[in-house]
Amino acid sequence: MISAEKLQILSDAAKFDVSCSSSGSNRKNMGGIGNACQAGICHSFTKDGRCISLLKILMTNTCIYDCAYCINRRSNDVPRAIATPTEICELTMGFYKRNYIEGLFLSSAVYKNPDYTMELLLETVLKLRKLYGFHGYIHLKGIPGADSKLVMRAGELVDRMSFNVELPTEQSLRLLAPQKTKKNIISPIGLLRDEKKERLSFKNKFLPAGQTTQLIVGASPEKDGQILNLTQALYGKFGLKRVYYSSFVPVSNSALLPTQPAGLLREHRLYQADWLIRFYGFKVNELIGENENLSTEYDPKCAWALKHPEFFPIDINTAPLEELIRIPGIGVTSAYKIISARRYGRLSLEDILKMKISVKRAIHFITFSGKFFGSMRENTISQSLKLNVVAETAEQLSLFSTPQISASVLTGEL
C-alpha cells in the first residue's frame, strides 16, 4: 500500500498539469472492472475550470530536467517520492471501488531517462488492464524523447494521451527548458495521429479519446495571438481534442521568469477564444492580431462585435446559423432554438423572451423584421457587454485540502 506521505507528495506535484479533463471514450468492458464510456466518467470542476474527476498523480516528481518554470525541476528543494507500478495500480483500484474516482490521469517527471520513465508508465497501464482487469478511463501523459515503440504500445492500452507543448515558441523552450526540444514533443503527437488514422480503417480502437496538450501562459513573453495561432495549428494539423492553458505561477526566483503570476483571467479569455475557434467558426486573425492580447474587459466574441459594426444589426428572422452564433449573447443552443421556432412564423422580441433566450447583450446587435430595440449609444453597448472577471482566489483542489478528506482518502471511511 502506498504511504500517506508519498501519496501527498505525488498528488500535490501533479496539480499543475491541467490537461486531464475527459469526455469518456468508447472502450468496452471485456469482463473486468470499470467502464470508460461517456456515462461512466463523472466530472467535477474547480472554479477555474479544471477537471478533478480523475485520480491525478505523478509516478515520481524526481526529475533529471531543470525547467525554470517547473516546481519539480531538478534544482528545486522539494520532498521527492516515487511510486511503483503496483502501488499506483492498487491505489487506483482502491479509489475506484470506494467510488472516489472514475478513472486515472497518470503523469511523471523524467526519471533517469525518457525511455526508463516511459517503461514504468507502460508497465503500470499494462498491469491495470491485464492483471487488475481495469477497463475504466486512463489518460496517460507521454514522455517526450521516449522510444516510439513504447509510445505506440501505450496508445493501444489507454484512452487518451498528451504530450505537453508547454511553451508557445521554440525560442522560449530553449531558454526555459533547454533539455527539451520541439522535435521530441511534436514527433510523438504526429506519430499517434498517423497511427490512429491508419487503425480507423481496420476498426481498431487506438486512443479512442484522442490527444490533448497543455500550454503554459505567461512564463514567456508570447502574446495571446501567438498562443492561439499555435492552438489553431494543433487542432488543424494534428487533430487534437483539446488544448489546455495553464496560467503561470512563480515557483522560483529565476531571472528568466516573471515575478508575477499570469492570472486566471488571461487563462479564462484564452479558453473562451479557443471555444470560438472550435465551435463557432472563428479564425484567430478575426479575434486578435499576432502580437496582441485578448481584452480583459470583454469576452472575445463581444470584443469582435465591437470592432466590426459593419456586420450588425442582424435580423433574427432571416439570418443563417453561422451569423446567429456570432451575435454577442447568442450561443449555439439559442441559435438552434431560433431557427427551429421561426419555421412557424416570424419571431418578435416577446417570442424570444418566452423561449428563455437572454437578450441583454444581443439586443444591441439584432432586429426583428427590421424593428430595432437596442441602443445606438456606444457607452451603453459597451457597458452591457462587460462581464464579471474570474475570481483570482480560485485554486486547484487537492486530495489533502482538509484533514477530513485526508483521513477519508487513506481509510476509505466517509
**Looking at residue 155, which CATH number applies to its domain?**
3.20.20.70
Nearest to 306 by CA among 384, 406, 391: 384
Q: Is there a single domain that holds both residue 285 and residue 306?
A: no
Whether 285 and 353 share a structural domain:
no
313 cis-preceded (ω within 30 degrees of 0): yes
Sign of the CA dihedral running 342, 347, 353, 357: positive
Question: What is residue 10's predicted lDDT score, i.e. its pLDDT?
Answer: 83
Same domain, 285 and 225: yes
What the block records as the C-alpha cell of 309 is 459594426
198 and 341, same domain (yes or no): no
**Is 413 within a domain?**
no
Note whether residue 398 is domain-resident.
Answer: no
131 and 221 belong to one structural domain: yes
Structural domain containing residue 356: 300-385
The average pLDDT across 123-152 equals 95
Query: Are 237 and 228 in contact, with CB atoms under 8 Å apart?
Result: no
Q: Is residue 102 part of a domain?
A: yes
Question: Residues 280, 369: one domain?
Answer: no
Residues 321 and 206 occupy one common structural domain: no
- Count CA atoms closer than 13 A to 229's CA, side-chain side: 14
Residue-wise pLDDT for 329-385, tens only, equals: 999 999 999 999 999 999 999 999 999 998 988 999 999 999 999 887 778 888 877
Identify whether residues 341 and 325 lie together within a single domain: yes
Instruction: Give the full edge-to-edge strand order of the sheet including 137-141.
Output: 55-58, 103-107, 137-141, 160-162, 211-217, 242-247
**298-319 pLDDT, tens per residue?**
999 999 999 999 999 999 999 9
221 domain-assigned? yes
Ordered DSSP codes for 306-329: HH-GGG--EETTT--HHHHTTSTT
Co-location of 179 and 317 in the same domain: no
pLDDT tens, position by position, 397-407: 454 444 444 44
More reliable by pLDDT, 394 or 12: 12
Per-residue pLDDT tens over the stretch 51-106 = 547 888 899 999 999 999 999 999 999 999 999 999 999 999 998 888 888 889 99
Check residue 394 and give its pLDDT.
43
Rg (CA), the chain: 23
Centre a 10 Å sphere on the Cβ of residue 254 and count the other Cβ atoms it contains: 15
The pLDDT > 90 percentage for the chain reads 67
Number of domains in the chain: 2
Co-location of 343 and 215 in the same domain: no
With respect to residue 391, please indicate whether it lies within any of the assigned structural domains: no
Average pLDDT, the chain: 85
Tell me how crowded residue 376 is: count the other CB atoms within 10 A of its CB: 8
**Domain assignment present for 54:** yes
Task: List all residues 6 or more positions away from 253 whose beta carbon is below 8 Å from its beta carbon.
Answer: none
Whether the Cβ atoms of residue 42 and residue 137 lie closer than 8 Å to each other: no
Max distance between CA atoms of the chain, in angstroms, equals 70
What is the spatial distance between Cα 156 and Cα 196, in angstroms, rounded to a whole number?
10
Helix pair angle (148-157, 114-126), 10° resolution:
20
Which whole number is the average pLDDT over 238-266? 91
* Residue 289 sits in the same domain as residue 305: no
Other residues' Cβ atoms within 10 Å of the Cβ of residue 104: 29
If asked whether residues 37 and 136 sit together in one domain, one would say: yes
Dist. CA 170–CA 216, nearest whole Å: 13
Considering the domain boundaries, does residue 410 fall inside one?
no
Kindly state whether residue 176 falls inside one of the protein's structural domains.
Answer: yes
How far is residue 411's CA from residue 289's CA, in Å, rounded to a whole number? 53
Would the pLDDT of 38 be above 80?
no
